[in-house]
Structure 1
Amino acid sequence: MTATETTHSTTTHSAPQPMPHADGMPPKLLVDGLSKQYGQVTALEPTQLAVEKGEFLTLLGPSGSGKTTLLQLVCGLVDRSSGRLFIDGVDQSDTPVHQRDIGLVFQHYALFPHLTVAENVAFPLKMRGCAPGELGRRVKDALDMVHLGHLADRFPRALSGGQQQRVALARCFVYQPSIILMDEPLGALDKKLRDHMQIEIKRLHRETGTTIIYVTHDQEEALAMSDRICLMNHARIEQIGAPHDIYMRPRTAFAADFIGISNIFRGEFVHGDGRPRLSTPHGLFVLPEAVTASGKGGALVVRPEHLRVGAGAANSITGTVTEVVYAGSETRVIADLGAGTQAILRLWPGEPVPRLGEPVTAGWDADNAAFVP
């Protein structure tokens, strides 16, 4: 056997069987210790991940974090170094790509330029031997689903970017795979069209109930579309949870810094009467009630929308306004706190906006912050 085959054989015999849910059913997809090595380079550490039937899970992270490698391992485009993959409780680790009942949508639509829209959508059905009568009905249904029935006879070159992306989605949905993998499918679109396509993909997901695993490096896209976010960093999972939990309760400094805009204040614990506090170069801050002060210290994470201009809150900071950015629905104020630190405040319409060079004090309630070690 080759070295790769030896690894697969050893992993298959030693790894435990996937655990079913309380209802006796396994998760739709179970990644059981999958990893990938390229020589001395680790593209993905051994990873555990369960995806439920009908779930929209987003793999989010910076370039090189392992999210695309994980997606490629799930669909079988690259060979695993270790671990196993289960779909509906069945080991699919060595199943060829075309037999995994998985649909793929990529950033580059890969439409056949010599085929019409309808012929592009029909292609996967023809490859599966679909009867002509059934094929025509399913193509029509798929194009109606993405609101492109009226363009069935056009060629891809006559379509806009958003229309081509919808054809690619229809071509994937038409043969009804139980899992669809999307690798940054909206990356080539402008912001307005990308926002529109996010809504379209969410609608398709809701109407079809298909399990979707979606790769992006766009945090706003992940927050807007996902049932759960799997945040990745350095070839491993950093944190996984619902968008609200990831945003409001980051577990690491990386998660806090990568998701949204954060003000991060590092310091050491100070114990006394009442709640423990964090001593930082910018003040002594009361910690959230749920924090257990163990170890030396850590960092407080305060989102810009929780900072209110003026004194009176449990915690406050003072700095000098260095930038005011008007963004329509909000105004962002950047203040220099000294010691090489800036704070970002988010002001809503109607709130007074401080001027450049003015001193500004802002505060937050202790429980409107997160603590990370």
Structure 2
Amino acid sequence: MTTVAKNGGTTPKLIIEGLSKQYGAVTALEPTHLTVPTGEFLTLLGPSGSGKTTLLQMICGLVEPSSGRILIDGRDQTQTPVHQRDIGLVFQHYALFPHLTVAENIEFPLRMRALSASEIKQRVKDVLKMVQLDHLAARFPRELSGGQQQRVALARSFVYQPSIILMDEPLGALDKKLREHMQIEIKQLHRETGATIIYVTHDQEEALALSDRICLMNHARIEQLGSPHEIYAHPATAFAADFIGISNIFRGRVDNSNGETRLATRHGHFRLPTGASFSGAEAAIVIRPEQISLGGGNGNTVVGRVTDAVYAGSETRLIVDLDEGETVIVRLPPGQPTPGYGERATLGWNPDAAVLVP
């Protein structure tokens, strides 16, 4: 069972109590507990089959849970039909009505709720201005770019001020530059409206850029929950370290034979971070590429041969094959001398820059 502590001091918008889903002998989601405060941007992140989409679909009512409860604003919504849950949905494929203009697409959920004509007009005007599409109100979806269509889909979800907005891979169909631009727009919309957003993606960079918290999922359960900084800088498991960002992971056995606790690996005995705790004989240390430097020093060191150096503008990414057969990735700041292909390189890091994981 996965249990996540409540975020004290903030009124919960959503509470998940022991929610699970079984398809015969297959477990799509283990019994899971999760609390989402009002106004939070929470990202469900994980590989295919991790349970993130199943969880999202149960929250919105598209999938019936095998057990557990869903509370929205303190009310049990577990058996409430999807159209009565006051939830906005944004999908990867925008699902715009092709025969309606931009304004008419945005009006649609308001008309379904029988709002007055004057209120509909004002809300549509406000949200069009918010997504910077007021000059395109009379156009049809086919006359818009992909980014503009996505902004219409976002505006349609925000306009009726739903209790929660669920986004399922909403930027997956966009190219990299447009996706990065839309990330900024979604973040601004969230800041301006204070909406509670639950966002599903498999893109870890997107999750780091957008989220107040990330709910990292693996094997139908929550692997780790925390802020982007917490999950990146302090991964709780080797999976979390490997999935979020680029990591160098050295596995081994805890060795106390020489009066100092070290991790015995095939690359040598590495000093552990100060205060590191472990519960078993086997463990791993995680070092991010930016924490490794060229040269030795009084920290931990490994030696290998440079197999590639990738220039990326703000950094040079050095790929080094260690003598014992593993690969290490190093991020070097611009302007730092870089060894060439085939040259020997000694890499070092401060033990306290690493993280010990089970």
TM normalised by structure 1 equals 0.92
- Aligned pairs for 1:119-130 (under 5 A) are 119-130=104-115
Q: Give the whole-Å Cα distance in 2 for the aligned partners of 1:293 and 1:105.
A: 42
For the pair 1:164 / 2:154, whether they are aligned, the reply is no
Q: Give the whole-Å Cα distance in 1 for the aligned partners of 2:227 and 2:334.
A: 29
Change beyond 3 A, Cα 1:21–1:279 = closer
Q: Is the 8 A contact 1:55 1:210 kept in 2?
A: yes
Aligned to 2:198: 213
Q: Is the 8 A contact 1:264 1:301 kept in 2?
A: yes
Aligned to 1:322: 307
Aligned to 2:67: 82
Aligned to 2:219: 234
For the pair 1:307 / 2:292, whether they are aligned, the reply is yes
Shift of 1:214: 0.3
Q: Which amino acid aligns with 2:199?
A: Y
Q: Give the whole-Å Cα distance in 2 for the aligned partners of 1:227 and 1:274.
A: 42
- Aligned pairs for 1:60-79 (under 5 A) are 60-79=45-64
For the pair 1:139 / 2:124, whether they are aligned, the reply is yes
Query: Runs of at least 4 residues of structure 1 off by over 3 A?
Result: 19-23, 272-275
Aligned to 1:27: 12
For the pair 1:269 / 2:266, whether they are aligned, the reply is no
Shift of 1:173: 0.3
The two structures, once aligned, show a CA RMSD in angstroms of: 1.5
Q: Give the whole-Å Cα distance in 2 for the aligned partners of 1:345 and 1:226.
A: 26
Q: Which amino acid aligns with 2:148?
A: Q
Shift of 1:242: 0.6
Q: Is the 8 A contact 1:111 1:120 kept in 2?
A: yes
For the pair 1:250 / 2:235, whether they are aligned, the reply is yes
Deviates more, 1:65-74 or 1:318-327: 318-327
Q: Give the whole-Å Cα distance in 2 for the aligned partners of 1:126 and 1:313.
A: 69
Q: Give the whole-Å Cα distance in 2 for the aligned partners of 1:310 and 1:53.
A: 48
> What are structure 1's unaligned runs of at least 5 residues?
1-18
Q: Is the 8 A contact 2:6 2:34 kept in 1?
A: no
Q: Which amino acid aligns with 1:55?
A: E
Change beyond 3 A, Cα 1:340–1:67 = same
Q: Give the whole-Å Cα distance in 1 for the aligned partners of 2:226 and 2:347.
A: 30
CA deviation digits over 1:132-180, x for unaligned, max 9? 1110110111110100000000000000000000000000000001210
CA deviation digits over 1:262-319, x for unaligned, max 9? 1000111122667521111112111011212442131010000000001114111111
Aligned to 2:94: 109
Q: Is the 8 A contact 1:266 1:298 kept in 2?
A: yes
Q: Give the whole-Å Cα distance in 2 for the aligned partners of 1:135 and 1:36.
A: 39
Q: Which amino acid aligns with 1:113?
A: P
Q: Give the whole-Å Cα distance in 2 for the aligned partners of 1:157 and 1:354.
A: 52
Change beyond 3 A, Cα 1:168–1:65 = same
Aligned to 1:279: 264
For the pair 1:177 / 2:159, whether they are aligned, the reply is no
For the pair 1:54 / 2:36, whether they are aligned, the reply is no
The SS at the match of 2:337 is coil
The SS at the match of 1:202 is helix
Deviates more, 1:194-203 or 1:40-49: 40-49
1:45 corresponds to which of 12, 30, 45: 30
1:192 corresponds to which of 177, 185, 207: 177
Q: Is the 8 A contact 1:270 1:277 kept in 2?
A: yes
Q: Give the whole-Å Cα distance in 2 for the aligned partners of 1:22 and 1:322.
A: 49
Q: Give the whole-Å Cα distance in 2 for the aligned partners of 1:21 and 1:116.
A: 42
Q: Give the whole-Å Cα distance in 2 for the aligned partners of 1:20 and 1:247.
A: 21
Q: Give the whole-Å Cα distance in 2 for the aligned partners of 1:313 and 1:344.
A: 20
The SS at the match of 1:240 is strand
Q: Is the 8 A contact 2:303 2:323 kept in 1?
A: no
Q: Give the whole-Å Cα distance in 2 for the aligned partners of 1:154 and 1:337.
A: 58
Q: Give the whole-Å Cα distance in 2 for the aligned partners of 1:223 and 1:107.
A: 19
Shift of 1:36: 1.0
Q: Is the 8 A contact 1:105 1:185 kept in 2?
A: yes
Q: Give the whole-Å Cα distance in 2 for the aligned partners of 1:242 and 1:85.
A: 23
Shift of 1:88: 1.4
Q: Give the whole-Å Cα distance in 1 for the aligned partners of 2:310 and 2:260.
A: 36
> What are structure 2's unaligned runs of at least 5 residues?
none
